[in-house]
């Protein structure tokens, strides 16, 4: 008979007061074997075996990524049966995708959240073969057994991006029209270009500055030379600089990009030479300020306030600074001519400037100012593009109306094709 | 030659860009062209820095109008370069705690970070906030009812302004649900979705065609006015 209040009771008895413990668990041997077994699991058994309770994903499929230069594969799989978004806590939190190139080392390339069944591996190298492995990961470093592709896949090169065929056809039509019209203009076909008030006013603005004896400001946008608006702005700069050289007016061109500064210097120098006034060229008037948007604005606004130019030209790509620059120019009473292809900035220029080149007018400026038949021919070709755009708009509206009234008709299918294939995929 | 070579480079690069858009194998050439542009831009930074120094040093030396601003610009330029190059005050990276220069130059606590956080950001925010005042003055000028068009603009702007505020909702809250399109928010929605969008799309189509035309002029070498002169 044991005394339950005995102070000398050993721990084994305390855990099992009935005293019916088996001999294997007796004494300190029990704790040793438990610890040993745990350590064995830690060091001998692979990590993913420990978490064998997470079911692996299934149905791993690899296929070529279409319309690329043999640098992409698409990996898809079916969700792990344990990937249940409603489960709390979630048993699968993400999937880890690994890749093996040409039988080399496996390396993890992506982790995607649970519920996803696809990745596009766009970092493949042409000519190499790849195998893929997907593992479902859970909380606390739990992982499922990996599922691997049995064979290696090689990305295939496509020679034409078929998604862009329609867009290519539209581009070919417009470019063809431009080239045909240019050739016609070369051979003497007359081209009428409507007067553009802002471009007509360029000479007026330069003349005003000359009469007032005050400088002019030219801002060729705030982006680099790889933007077509900057190029368009520089073509107008050539004309303004030529007129300024003829009238002996002072032209200031602060730039926010170094390459633009270099190109602007070349333009102005060429214009001065063309005007027969090479001595008018002063490179100190064309300089770099800063790449920083509002730093540039601060400088130009400060200069405008101090020097009070008689004419300000803003031609190029502009963002939030458009209104700051033009309002300061307006406050000093300068005649202002602006032009940009940024639709969101056009209202600001319209509100603050005397003349504004709206979008395409900026790009037409060089042709308009040069009056060269070849360049004017490109504007005529542009009109062919507008006709095409109008036809597409009208056709699209009719098809959409047809589809709205008869959703099961041929018209609905045509509308779907037009919207999804002809329009949506074009810019993809 | 001075204009011909750049014109050829522009033409070839432009053609490559177009081809690469439709033909995937040509995308390598496109990437090469973009890398070259980046290299040129990096070199241009040196030219820009030199130009900036010379321009402002001349102004200070000759004490031209506003030379004090040039002095401030030069001081700011050299201070920034000093902190950027020396990584002054930059804490060591966690991986290399024994090397004081191992942290990034913009790490929190460093001189460059301090300049950006406490000088650059407030100054930029100040310039940007000026926009609010200029919007007001430009709107005042634009909305003066000088003629029929200006009157239409004024009325439209008034509706959109009210439709975007709580006042517009309250003022037309009595309108029955079946006629909600006639409330200020309803009218604003129609103006923005139909009239504004239609106008913007027309401008966008024109811009796209204009870009195509000017790009062709450059690629074909018809327009070289941006390249300067062949003469020296």
- Local confidence band at A348 (pLDDT 50, 70, 90 cut-offs): very high
* Both structure tokens of B22: 């439709």
Q: Is the pLDDT of residue A219 over 50?
A: yes
A73 touches chain B (CB under 8 A): no
Write b or e for each residue in A9-31: b if 16 or more Cβ atoms lie within 10 A of its Cβ, otherwise e.
eeeeeeeeeeeeeeeeeeeeeee
Whether chain A has a CB inside 8 Å of the CB on B122: the answer is: no
B119 CB near a chain A CB, below 8 Å?
no
Measured between CA atoms, the residue of chain B closest to residue A65 is B24
- Give the pLDDT band (50/70/90) at residue A140: confident
CB contact under 8 A, B223 and A358: no
Contact A201, B188 (CB under 8 A): no
Q: Do the chains contact at B210 and A323, CB–CB below 8 Å?
A: no
Nearest to A385 among B22, B23, B209 (CB): B209
Which residues of chain B from 203 to 222 reach within 8 Å of chain A, CB to CB?
A: 203-207, 209-218, 220, 222
For an interface test with A, the pick among B11, B14, B22 (most A C-beta atoms closer than 10 Å) comes out as B22
Contact B24 A374 (CB under 8 A): no
Domain ranges in chain A are 58-148, 164-189+374-424, 197-371
Residue A372 to chain B, least CA–CA distance (Å): 9
Distance of residue B58 Cα from the nearest chain A Cα, in angstroms: 9
Mean pLDDT, residues B41-67: 92
Rg of chain A, C-alpha, whole Å: 37
Kind of pairing between the strands at A311-315 and A335-340: parallel
Label residue B101 by pLDDT band (50, 70, 90): confident
Q: How far apart are CA A114 and CA A57, in angstroms?
A: 11
Per DSSP, A206 falls in state: H
Residue B95: CB atoms within 10 A of its CB come to 8
B223–A366: do the CB atoms touch at under 8 Å?
yes
Q: What is the mean pLDDT of chain B?
A: 90
Give the closest-approach CA distance of A56 to chain B in angstroms: 36
Give the distance from residue B128's alpha carbon to the nearest chain A alpha carbon, in angstroms: 7
A275 — contact with chain B (CB < 8 Å)? no
CATH architecture of A58-148: Sandwich (2.60)
Instruction: Give residue-wise pLDDT tens across range B106-140.
Output: 899 899 999 999 999 999 999 999 999 999 999 88
Chain A: residue nearest B40 by CA? Answer: A259
In this predicted structure, the answer to whether residue A27 has a pLDDT above a threshold of 80 is no
Q: Do B55 and A375 touch (CB under 8 A)?
A: no
- Mean pLDDT across the stretch A14-29? 44
- Report the gap between the CA of A76 and the closest CA in chain B (Å): 23
Instruction: Give the β-pairing of A311-315 and A118-121.
Output: unpaired
| Cβ contact A370–B223 (<8 Å) | yes
CB A315, CB B80: distance < 8 Å? no
Contact across the interface for A385 and B69, Cβ inside 8 Å: no
pLDDT value of position A22: 42
Predicted complex ipTM exceeds 0.95: no
CB contact under 8 A, A360 and B207: yes
Count of Cβ atoms closer than 10 Å to residue A2 Cβ: 10
Chain B interface includes A166 (CB < 8 A): no
**CA A416 to centroid of chain Cα atoms:** 27
Q: Are A355 and A337 in contact (CB under 8 A)?
A: yes
Closest approach of B25 to chain A, Cα-based (Å)? 5
pLDDT of residue A36: 57
Question: Of the candidates B22, B37, B51, which has its C-beta nearest A287's C-beta?
Answer: B51
Q: Is the bond preceding B108 in cis, omega lying within 30 degrees of 0? A: no
Sort strands A216-219 and A251-255 into parallel, antiparallel or unpaired: parallel
- In contact, A426 and A170? CB cutoff 8 Å: yes
Instruction: Over range A256-278, report the average pLDDT.
Output: 93
Tell me whether domains A58-148 and A197-371 share a fold.
Answer: no
pLDDT higher than threshold 90 for residue A121: yes
Q: Do B134 and A372 touch (CB under 8 A)?
A: no
Q: Does B85 touch chain A (CB under 8 A)?
A: no
Q: How far is CA A249 from CA A34, A162, A308, in A?
A: 95, 54, 14
Establish if B51 touches chain A: CB-CB under 8 angstroms.
Answer: yes
CB A100 within 8 A of CB A131: yes
Helix, strand, coil % over all residues of chain A, rounded to 5: 50, 15, 35
Chain B: give the shortest CA distance to residue A247, in Å. Answer: 20
User: Is A112 strand, coil or helix?
Assistant: strand
pLDDT: is A189 or A117 the higher one?
A117
Least confident of A335-349, A354-368, A411-425: A411-425
Tell me whether residues B220 and A297 touch, CB distance under 8 A: no
Q: Which two tokens stand for residue A380?
A: 């005529």
Kindly state whether B28 is in contact with chain A, defined as any CB-CB distance less than 8 angstroms: yes
Find, in chain B, the residue whose alpha carbon is nearest to that of A361. Answer: B210
Q: Could you tell me which CATH class the domain A197-371 is placed in?
A: alpha beta
Residue A250 backbone dihedrals phi, psi, to 5 degrees: -95, 130
Total Cβ atoms within 10 A of residue B82: 12
Residue of A nearest to B26 (CA): A69
Round to whole Å and give the CA distance between A73 and A120.
Answer: 6
Cβ of residue B24 closer than 8 Å to a chain A Cβ:
yes
Q: What is the pLDDT of residues A66-110, one digit of tens each?
A: 999 999 999 999 999 999 988 888 899 999 999 999 989 999 999
Confidence of residue A28 (pLDDT cuts 50, 70, 90): low
Q: What percent of chain A has pLDDT over 70?
A: 87
Q: What percent of chain B has pLDDT over 90?
A: 64
């Amino acid at each position: 008979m044991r005394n339950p209040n005995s102070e000398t009771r050993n721990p084994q008895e305390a855990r099992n007061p009935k005293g019916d413990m088996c001999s294997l668990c007796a004494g300190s041997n029990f704790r040793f074997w438990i610890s040993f077994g745990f350590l064995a699991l830690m060091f001998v058994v692979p990590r993913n075996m420990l978490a064998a309770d997470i079911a692996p994903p299934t149905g791993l499929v690899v296929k070529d990524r279409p319309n690329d230069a043999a640098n992409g594969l698409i990996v898809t799989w079916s969700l792990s049966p344990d990937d249940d978004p409603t489960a709390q806590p979630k048993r699968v939190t993400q999937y880890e995708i690994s890749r093996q190139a040409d039988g080399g080392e496996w390396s993890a390339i992506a982790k995607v959240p649970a519920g996803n069944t696809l990745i596009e591996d766009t970092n493949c190298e042409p000519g190499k073969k790849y195998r893929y492995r997907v593992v479902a990961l859970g909380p606390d470093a739990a992982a499922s057994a990996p599922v691997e592709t049995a064979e290696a896949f090689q990305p295939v090169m496509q020679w034409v991006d078929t998604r862009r065929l329609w867009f290519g056809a539209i581009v070919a039509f417009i470019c063809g029209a431009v080239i045909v019209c240019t050739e016609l203009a070369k051979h003497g076909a007359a081209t009428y270009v409507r007067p553009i008030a802002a471009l007509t006013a360029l000479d007026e603005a330069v003349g005003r500055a000359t009469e007032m004896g005050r400088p002019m400001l030219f801002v060729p946008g705030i982006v680099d030379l790889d933007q077509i608006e900057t190029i368009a702005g520089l073509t107008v700069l050539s004309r303004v600089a030529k007129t300024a050289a003829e009238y002996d007016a002072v032209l200031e061109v602060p730039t926010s990009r170094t390459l633009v500064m270099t190109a602007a210097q070349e333009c102005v120098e060429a214009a001065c030479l063309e005007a027969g006034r090479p001595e008018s060229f002063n490179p100190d008037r064309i300089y770099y300020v800063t790449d920083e948007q509002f730093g540039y604005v601060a400088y130009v606004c400060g200069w405008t306030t101090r020097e009070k130019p008689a004419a300000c030209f803003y031609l190029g790509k502009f963002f939030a600074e458009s209104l700051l620059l033009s309002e300061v120019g307006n406050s000093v009473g300068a005649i202002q001519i602006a032009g940009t292809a940024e639709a969101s900035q056009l209202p600001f220029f319209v509100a603050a400037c005397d003349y504004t080149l709206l979008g395409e007018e900026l790009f037409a400026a060089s042709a308009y100012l040069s009056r060269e038949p070849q360049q004017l021919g490109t504007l005529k070709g542009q009109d062919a593009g507008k006709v095409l755009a109008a036809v597409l708009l009208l056709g699209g509206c009719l098809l959409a109306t047809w589809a709205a009234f008869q959703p099961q008709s041929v018209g609905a299918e045509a509308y779907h094709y037009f919207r999804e294939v002809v329009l949506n995929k074009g810019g993809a | 030659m001075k204009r011909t070579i750049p014109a050829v480079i522009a033409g070839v690069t432009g053609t490559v860009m177009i081809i690469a858009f439709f033909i995937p194998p040509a995308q390598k050439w496109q990437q090469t062209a973009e890398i070259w542009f980046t290299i040129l831009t990096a070199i241009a930074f040196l030219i820009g820095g030199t130009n900036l120094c010379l321009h402002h040093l001349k102004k200070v030396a000759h004490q031209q109008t506003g030379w004090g601003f040039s002095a401030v610009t030069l001081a700011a330029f050299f201070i920034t370069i000093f902190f950027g190059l020396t990584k002054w005050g930059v804490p060591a990276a966690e991986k290399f705690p024994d090397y004081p220069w191992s942290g990034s130059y913009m790490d929190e606590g460093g001189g460059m970070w301090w300049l950006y956080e406490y000088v650059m950001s407030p100054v930029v925010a100040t310039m940007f906030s000026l926009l609010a005042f200029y919007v007001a003055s430009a709107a005042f000028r634009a909305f003066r009812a000088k003629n029929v068009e200006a009157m239409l603009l004024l009325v439209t702007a008034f509706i959109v302004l009210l439709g975007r505020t709580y006042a517009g909702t309250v003022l037309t809250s009595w309108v029955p649900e079946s006629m909600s399109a006639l409330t200020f928010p309803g009218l604003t929605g129609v103006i923005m979705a139909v009239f504004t969008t239609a106008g913007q799309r027309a401008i966008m189509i024109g811009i796209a065609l204009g870009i195509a035309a000017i790009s062709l002029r450059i690629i074909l070498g018809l327009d070289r006015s941006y390249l300067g002169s062949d003469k020296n």
